[in-house]
Homo-oligomer: A and B are copies of this chain.
């Protein structure tokens, strides 16, 4: 008697395939499992997910739309590179979105939003406590994304989430070593920001968000500068 392929879960629901591939590839790109510049092979993915190339390609088109992969016509497609030369444009956009989303959250949030926001803040504090740099990045992003949601402007949340994703990718490059940690100060700043949102103090929300964002940008730049020096030493 020969072995019969008793595939555990060969049945996929119609239409779920694209989303599964999209989500997984997206995570792998943002977590740097797939490094920037590495090629993406449709056939390989088709084999890996046990499906035809058609849904794979649809997922890739979506990712290309978000700028996570680059597609050269009739040629290879690869994970988008990180543009370190124009980093300041990223920081400009990030700071502005921090400010405007926090401001709008102070203006339009509902009681239920605060519960969600505070839950994320608890997780962020725990990550800082545990000195888990990677967890800090993701919980910080989740917290600010929740604040943006409370502002209820899809145009801003859309751009902001995109920026947070891109930031997650950049920081992964530098936090590989796990030996860095964001200062406790950020936890307190978050608490202050949440407080002014709850108080609906719009001007103060803008001011604190600006300071907070600039602190984070400064922190990142300091990190990059240190790495640059290490690179030069080699």
Interface residues of A (CB under 8 A from B): 14-15, 54, 57-58, 61-62, 65-66, 73-74, 86, 89-90, 92-93, 96, 100, 104, 152-156, 158-159, 162-163
> Are A153 and B57 in contact, CB atoms less than 8 angstroms apart?
no
Minimum distance in angstroms from A166 CB to a CB of chain B: 9
| Known pairs A15-B74, A93-B156 / 19 extra A-B pairs, C-beta < 8 Å | A14-B74, A54-B54, A57-B58, A58-B58, A58-B61, A61-B62, A61-B65, A62-B65, A65-B65, A65-B66, A86-B152, A89-B156, A92-B104, A92-B155, A92-B156, A96-B100, A155-B159, A155-B163, A158-B159
A14: chain B residues within 8 A (beta carbon) = 74
Q: Contacting A89 at CB < 8 Å: which of B57, B74, B154, B159?
A: B154
As for how many copies of this chain the complex holds, the number is: 2
User: How many Å lie between the Cα of A66 and that of B100 in the bound state?
Assistant: 22
Report A109 CB to chain B, min CB distance, Å.
14
Q: Please determine whether A152 and B74 come into contact, CB atoms closer than 8 angstroms.
A: no
Interface pair B15/A73, CB less than 8 Å apart? yes
